[in-house]
Amino acid sequence: MRVGLTGGIASGKSTVSAMLRELGAIVIDADQLARDVVAKGTPGLAQVVDVFGPGVLTEAGEMDRPAVGAIVFADESKRRALEAIIHPLVGARSAELAREAGPGAVVVHDIPLLVETGQAELFDAVIVVDVPEDVQVERMLRDRGWAEDDSRARIAAQATRDARRAAATYVIENTGTREDLRLRVAEVFGDVLQRGS
């Protein structure tokens, strides 16, 4: 079973991902792969420098993520240019890891921009972690120390809640307690296992 997992920023998708892993899913984290494919010394980082210039490197020769973030979230064409470098590299590595999982495994692809990149159809099921926008903003202010304008800009750069929900096989609402969330994740995982058998 190939399952896509997505959700807006600060929706709790990483928490759900960890719970699915605890239940026995093999989780492939696109965010982690996105960091790996532009790590120091990789061809991916060389491509980023070719497009954005050496100013996006730290003194240690690594990608300066805050600097790149400031560039791409202020200019959609630059964001698309970065995605054109990273997404194919992440896709190739993700496919490689899925092949290594073997038959019978539930492989969850944790992809923040699953809907934005038109990948929903690639999966047997899509799980969307969902919260209202005000909850996202409140969490970014509290947990990340971001300004409200920055938080809303990040939300606006992602797919709408309606677009994500429309792509969902399962929606996991994450506005209750952690135990509520754990129960819903276990329910969804059980259903996914049944679908795959």
The reply, when asked if residue 156 is annotated as ligand binding, is: no
Contacts with 73 (C-beta within 8 Å, 6 or more apart), sequence order: 79, 153, 154, 157
The reply, when asked if residue 78 is annotated as ligand binding, is: no
The reply, when asked if residue 197 is annotated as ligand binding, is: no
Query: What does the alpha-carbon distance between residue 110 and residue 87 come to, in Å, rounded to a whole number?
Result: 13
The reply, when asked if residue 40 is annotated as ligand binding, is: no
Buried b (16+ CB within 10 A) or exposed e, 140-172: beeeeebeeebbeebbeebbebeebeebbbbbb
Phi-psi group of 105: left, alpha or beta (phi > 0 → left; psi -120 to 50 → alpha; rest → beta): beta
The reply, when asked if residue 151 is annotated as ligand binding, is: no
The reply, when asked if residue 13 is annotated as ligand binding, is: yes
Binding site: residue ranges?
A: 10-15
Binding site for ATP: residue ranges?
A: 10-15
